[in-house]
Amino acid sequence: MSESTEKLSNGSLGEQLAGESALRTRSLWKDAVGRLLRNRLSIIGLIITLFLLISALFGPYIAPYSYTEQDLLNVAKMPSPDHWLGTDEIGRDLFSRVLWGARTATLVAIFTTFISVIIGVIIGAIAGYGGALADNITGRIIDIVMSVPGLLLAALIAVSIKEPVVTWAENIYDASGFPLFADTTWLDLLVVFGGLAFVSWPGYARLIRGQIFSLREEQYIEAAKSVGVSELKIALRHLLPNAIGPVIVTLTFSFSSAMVLESSLSYLGIGVQPPQASWGNMIASNIGSWSYRPWLVAVPALTLAIVTLGINFLGDGLNDALNPRSKRSI
């Protein structure tokens, strides 16, 4: 009897393998967390991102004023104890509007990114694992969608399909009195940014497709096939979990891009409409006075810049942490 057979027979090898496996699992995530926390820029990014999320979640409760509340006798005031970041040109508290703007930006970013990821992962998985025909068809769909400029699509949606959706919601309100449909402003956002999400998924689809093409040649996939595991199970149990790391990294960059896109659209007057608070429309409404009241533009612009940079730092850190082959990883 060989040595290994001896160990197996007395049960010690199984325990040892299980123990090593558990150790490996813990080590992988520990390594990732360790890498993330050793990167100072990642920590800064993490703090900024957490601060953003807390602001988005609790900002309206801690904001000293409503985002629409006007004090017309105190317009365009410099920062003071009553108004930490000053007031805008119709006397609204800038700090409160920045906090409300954080909620707008975060909601739009989460919404857009979430829909993009779901669509992208499904289509990417189909392309990567569905054979040549599926790959061809999805590849052409991806090409078509990527040819649509996002900003133009948003403008098109704003002037074409928003009205039927809003009318539909108003009819529901007229018929049922359901309070959700009393104010249809949120529907505007849903339609415009939902439309943006529908053109943002191809990046994820391509990423997943590439990952699957690479992973499906791995030995553990071959092994699973050889023992009769179903294709669906292989895709869900083995391929997707192993391909998701790069998606998480891309997701952070998409998140910050979505925030910038929201601000861009609001700046152009397509996205969030006044008096709703959005960093983009705060910049737009005060851009005319940048030379003599620069803080009115600087506050939302710097907030957007800092948050975007912070999320990108975090994305960099995640990239290092989740990609052991990265040359700068530890």
Partner 1 sequence: MKGKRHIFSFASILLVIVFAVSACAAPAPADSGSTAAMDEGEEMTGRALPEDAAEEQVIRYVTRNFSRMNPASEGGFGRPFVSHIWMTLFLRDYEHQANPWLATGYDVSDDGLTYTIHIHPDAVWSDGSPVTANDVKVYWEYAVSPECIGCRMFNYSAIKLIEGIQPVVDGEADEIPGLVAVDDKTLEIKLVAPKPILIDTLANYNTAIVKLEDILEGGEMWAADGTARVNGPFKVKVWDPDTQEYEVEQNPMWWGDTKPYIERIIGQASADENVSFIMWQNDEVDVAHWLTNIREPLRADNPESFTLIPYATNFFYTLNTSLPPFDDINVRRALVHAVDWDLAIDAAWEGARSDRVMKTHLTPEIQCYKADNWPDFGYNPELAKEELAASKYGEPEDLPKIRITTNGQSPNYIRTAEIMMEMWKNNLGITNVEMRPGRIDAWGQEGEEVQVLRRSSGAVIPDSSEWMNGFYQRLGDPARQINIVDEELGALVDEMALHSSADPEYCDFVQEVESRILGHYYLLPMIWDLYEYNTKPWIVGFDTNVDNNWTSLLDMYVAKR
Q: Report the interface residues with partner 1, using CB under 8 A.
A: 41, 68-70, 72-73, 75-76, 89-91, 158-160, 162-164, 166, 170, 182-185, 269, 273-275, 284-286, 288-292, 305, 309, 312, 315-316, 319-320, 323, 326, 328
In degrees, rounded to 5, the angle at the alpha carbon of residue 146 between the alpha carbons of residues 144 and 150 is 120
Residue 324's CB is within 10 A of a number of other CB atoms, namely: 13
CB 225 within 8 Å of CB 234? yes
Residue 210 Cβ, how far from partner 1 at the closest point, in Å? Answer: 15
Any idea what the Cα angle at residue 28 is, between residues 24 and 30, rounded to 5°? 110
Q: Compute the least distance from the CB of residue 282 to partner 1, in Å.
A: 12
CB of 84 to partner 1, least distance (A): 21
Helix axes 94-129, 202-215, angle to 10 degrees: 40
d(CA 159, CA 172): 21
Minimum CB distance to partner 1, residue 148 (Å): 18
Q: Which is nearer to partner 1, 26 or 328 (CB)?
A: 328
**Rounded Cα gap, residues 93 and 89, in angstroms:** 10
Closest contact distance (angstroms) between CB of 185 and partner 1 is: 7
Question: What does the alpha-carbon distance between residue 152 and residue 292 come to, in Å, rounded to a whole number?
Answer: 33
- Of the pair 25, 326, the CB lying nearest partner 1 is at 326
Q: What are phi and psi of 197, to 5 degrees?
A: -60, -35
Burial class of 94 by CB neighbour count within 10 A (0 to 12, 13 to 18, 19+):
buried
* Complex with partner 1: residue 213 or 290, whichever CB lies closer: 290
Rounded to an integer, what is the distance from CA 205 to the centroid of its chain?
Answer: 15
Minimum distance from residue 74 beta carbon to partner 1 (Å) = 10
Nearer to partner 1, 57 or 305 (CB): 305
Nearer to partner 1 (CB atom), residue 117 or residue 320: 320
Least Å from the CB of residue 253 to partner 1: 9
According to DSSP, the residues that pair with 93 across neighbouring strands are: 87
**Closer residue to partner 1 (CB): 129 or 181:** 181
Instruction: Give me 230's structure tokens.
Output: 């179903």
Question: CB-wise, 131 or 275, nearer to partner 1?
Answer: 275
CB 243, CB 211: distance < 8 Å: yes
